[in-house]
Structure 1
Amino acid sequence: MLDPHATLPFAATPHPDAGGAHRLTWDSREAGPEVAFVALPGERMHGNAFVEAALANGAPFVLTDLDVPRALRVPEGQAQQALFAWARQERAKNPLVVGITGSAGKTTAKSYAAAALEAHYMPVFNTMPAIACFLVEFGASPRPLVVEMGIDRVGEMAELVDLVRPDVGVVTSIGPAHLEQLGSVENIAREKGGILQAARGLVGAQAAAYYPPDTYPGVESYGFGAVTHPGQHLQVTPAGAQFRYQGVRVELPLAAPVQAEAAVLGLVLAEQAGLPLEPVARRLAEVSVPAGRYRVHPGRYTVIDDAYNASPLAVKAALDALHAQPGRRISVLGRMLELGPTERALHAEVGAHARQRADLTYGVGAYAAELGERAFPTVPELLEHLLAEVRSGDVVLVKASRGLSWTPERRAQEGVGLDVVVEALLSARGD
């Protein structure tokens, strides 16, 4: 229970009517009788504009600098600093916090690490306010925490590390992403490497190439092949992936190599935490990745929903997994965002890889011609042709960036947010 009248690590005056909450949110739409609201500065509006709505929804207290009912009132302009101070206080009470970053595979790694450790883990959002609210809610739990730590600008990882203070820092992969702000893959490697300041560091097999021993002494690697903690005898079939780790057999239904490597990470973390590996392997077999993260939908034709987000590294990995599938392989690719001045060349590079790994390639929106042999300017035009083409036994991969802040019309025009394509394919399958 979050008690606004308790001793807190910041200056605040609780309103007499302020009550305890089970959760704290930065999104006023989530506020309710058990969920308090923290009013933070935003890119477009300040959270103070939504305080009345949060109170009307029954929020037991509101962390704000306004003089309103049920306020946990802080000095003017101090709400964000207060939230972060509270988060650090609660995080300090937890015995094991794992921070995960990388250019691709963060959410998948988070899911498997959390299952292995039976940990609390971050939901989809991984912004600083979301992480702070998560730490306030779960920091004092005796269960470990797994925190996804994504960045898109220089200096952000240092801020996240200062907030989360991970005991174990993990880098899943390194590749071109968020280049508009980060500038180069070398900058990405350096910035994400800040997470390895933790007491223990781990890097995935692909990322290990960016962290030679003379640069980060003692950083261990995991995955398959020449790594410190290897999974062995990996086999990937349409039914899923299987391998062994320290003699323990691991079977992951409907999984690709990316999920298998994430499972190895989970096993390494569990082993270092002193947990028996057989039960861990059973938990890993039950992991269900969130929608849009290489979720396989078998049926008359198979749909691989990888539409949540995209970077060149992630798209190539998904195409490699598609290539291992039987039947006619179809890739449906949309625009990858935040790639800076090299975006056309990077889209062409990904499109060339698609032509090597798939039997039929579609591109949609901006850079459609670079991404696929069959290119369409908008999503509706793509769907008209795709739904007429797909047939029994096909395997269809759908992947693009999201563009969540864009209007639906712009999303359809630019070829981002292809979850609508996944929905249309599943609906048309009729099984």
Structure 2
Amino acid sequence: MEGVTFNEAALWCKGTIAAGDSQSALGRISIDTRKIEPGDTYVAIVGERLDGHDFIESAFEKGVRKFVVEPGRVDDKSYYAGSTVLEVEDTTKALGDIARGYRDRFDIPYIGVTGSCGKTSTRNMVWSVLSQKLSTHKNSGNFNNHIGLPLTMFELGSSHQAAVLEMGMSGFGEIEYLASIVRPRIAVITNIGYSHIENLGSKENILKAKLEITSYFDETCTLIVNGDDEQLRTLRPGSYKMIKFGFEPGNDIVCTEVRDQGGMLEFSVNWGAHDEKFSIPSKGMHNVYNAMAAMAVGIECGLGFDEIRRGLLQFENEKMRLDIVEKSFIIINDAYNANPDSMKAAIDFLAGYEEKRKIAVLADMLEMGEFSREGHEIVGEYAAGRVDILVSVGGAAAYISSRARECGLENVVHFEDRQGAMEYLDELVRPGDVVLVKGSRSMKMEEIANHLQEGSSK
């Protein structure tokens, strides 16, 4: 964080300077005493399991002398001596309030990215494209919630010329809160799927929640959406500009041809009077959608097609998101998370290896609520005509395998735990195979991917 004093922060979050020099600079903001350094400001976040105020002594012992705290949380205030302390009603809310104030220090394009799946890949593609012309900031990892996004905002500096910020949610009001901090001028919605349907109840409600990203839009703003999506295609331009992309005629940006060139996808796009060709170093049709979204953001930010082409060629995906490891066989590690839409996209990715034996190792998709059985059966039916062997892991994943059998897939086996699946795969997988490993984050399917990788000498 550049040039923000405690006095300014107090004004933004309606706090009180309880000790020290109000003109002290906040410097780097930290909420984790394990990584804190002298000169940082420690914000004592109160979480569901841990209270950051319990770690103030640890921060103090490491040389920290700047704190944001809630009054009444700490009996021993000896750390106030020689420190600057900002007292606020709610440290988590203050984090957002300070980020909201800091945002206005920078007159740059802010781009928000949300959707049921593909958010992170799209964010990274947008960043890769914009970085060809503009010094662009982005979230680290999954810093896309009410705590991670403010921390991302604090990393903005005077050298940055744009910021692309992923926004996650699990219910109503969460995207609106993040949008109130960022106030994006350009927003991307990748798709509307089943993620968080347990909390929201229907795709229509998920659409409403995602549209909160436009809460602070005006006529100068642009919404970019997947026009092939059954929910997003129904949207009509309002007071702001809208750009739709997809494969179907009628979109503003239409992909007219895709060619798989090994590890590279080449595709052609029509946009009004322009017919352009692009390449991305990835497989999977979903990444063509992501690329079209990044293309639209690039044009809105003043980039030319050649700059966009270079940016897409330099795209790199996150770990455990269709992360390909080539040994004597191919491992597709997509263990970061899962919902029916991302499962189907990953299965399509696997199916692209037409000449190889295709093995899908699929685990539970969580946070599905009453939709759990139906969601898992959708995946099983989808896999039946696209993979050669299906291995399901967990409790609800049994619905994947049972539905796949009903749809005619003969090579199906189910395991309650990862250990059983790993032992089976040790005997099953042979050179030349391609193995997809995917499930919800808490299923820890990366352990299977790592096991396969370590034992791939056969």
**TM-score if structure 1 supplies the norm length?**
0.89
Match of 1:225 among 241, 248, 262: 248
Letter in 2 for 1:394: D
After the TM superposition, which residues 202-213 of structure 1 pair with which residues of structure 2 at under 5 Å, given as runs? 202-207=224-229, 209-213=231-235
Equivalent position of 1:250 in the other structure: 278
* Structure 2: gaps of 5 or more residues: 402-411
Matched, 1:122 2:134: no
Alpha-carbon shift at residue 313 of structure 1 (Å): 0.7
SS of residue matched to 1:161: helix
Displacement, 1:35?
A: 4.4
Query: What SS does the corresponding residue of 2:154 show, helix, strand or coil?
Result: helix
> Any conservation in 1 of the 2:120–2:166 contact (CA below 8 Å)?
yes
Q: Is the 8 A contact 1:401 1:417 kept in 2?
A: yes
Q: Which moved more, 1:308-317 or 1:321-330?
A: 321-330
* Among candidates 110, 119, 131, match of residue 97 of structure 1: 110
**Mapping for residues 148-297 of structure 1, pairs under 5 Å:** 148-197=166-215, 198=217, 199-207=221-229, 209-214=231-236, 218-226=241-249, 227-245=251-269, 246-297=274-325
Query: Which one is further off, 20-29 or 335-344?
Result: 20-29
Is structure 2 residue 119 aligned with structure 1 residue 106? yes
- Which of 34, 42, 65 is residue 47 of structure 2 equivalent to? 42
Q: 1:44 to 1:346 in 2, by over 3 A?
A: same
Q: In the alignment, residue 297 of structure 2 is paired with which amino acid?
A: L
Equivalent positions of 1:312-331 (< 5 A) are 312-326=340-354, 327-331=356-360
Compute the RMSD of aligned alpha carbons.
2.5
Does structure 1 retain, via aligned residues, the 8 Å contact 2:68–2:87? Answer: no
Counterpart code for 2:149: I
Corresponding residue of 1:357: 386
Aligned counterparts of 2:34 and 2:233: Cα–Cα separation in 1 = 42
Q: Secondary structure at the match of 1:127?
A: coil
Measure, in 2, the Cα distance between the counterparts of 1:319 and 1:61: 50
Distance 1:141 1:59, change over 3 A: farther
Percent of residue pairs bearing the same amino acid type: 27
Q: Given residue 147 of structure 2, which amino acid in structure 1 is its aligned partner?
A: P
Return 58-67 or 13-22, whichever deviates more. Answer: 13-22
* TM-aligned CA distance change 1:310 to 1:301, over 3 Å: same
Confirm or deny that 1:336 pairs with 2:365.
yes
Change (3 A) 1:159 1:358: same
Name the SS for the 2:195 alignment partner.
coil
Q: Indicate how the Cα distance of structure 1 residues 59 and 419 shifts in structure 2: closer, same or farther if over 3 A, else same.
A: farther
Alpha-carbon contact 1:18-1:60 (below 8 Å) kept: no
Structure showing greater radius of gyration is: 2
What is the aligned length? Answer: 419
Residue 42 of structure 2 contacts residue 68 of structure 2 at CA under 8 Å; is this kept in 1?
yes
**1:114–1:146 Cα contact (<8 Å) kept:** yes
TM-score (norm 2): 0.84
Deviation larger for 362-371 or 113-122:
362-371
1:390 aligns with 2:429: yes
Residue 55 of structure 1: SS of its match in structure 2?
A: helix
1:390–1:222 Cα change, 3 Å: same
Whether the aligned pair in 2 keeps the contact of 1:91 and 1:139 (CA below 8 Å) is no
CA distance in 2, matches of 1:301, 1:230: 35
Q: Say whether the 8 Å CA contact 1:223–1:265 is kept in structure 2.
A: no
Amino acid at match of 1:222: F
1:82 positional shift: 2.7
Structure 1, 305-314 or 18-27: larger mean CA deviation: 18-27
What amino acid maps onto 2:365 in structure 1? M
Give the AA of the match of 1:91: R
For the residues of structure 2 that align with 1:255 and 1:420, how far apart are their CA atoms?
23
**Which residue of 2 is the match for residue 367 of structure 1?**
396
What CA distance in whole angstroms lies between the structure 2 residues aligned with 1:186 and 1:202? 18
Secondary structure of 1:220 counterpart: strand
Q: Which moved more, 1:186-195 or 1:207-216?
A: 207-216
Q: Structure 1 unaligned segments of length 5 or more: list them.
A: 404-415
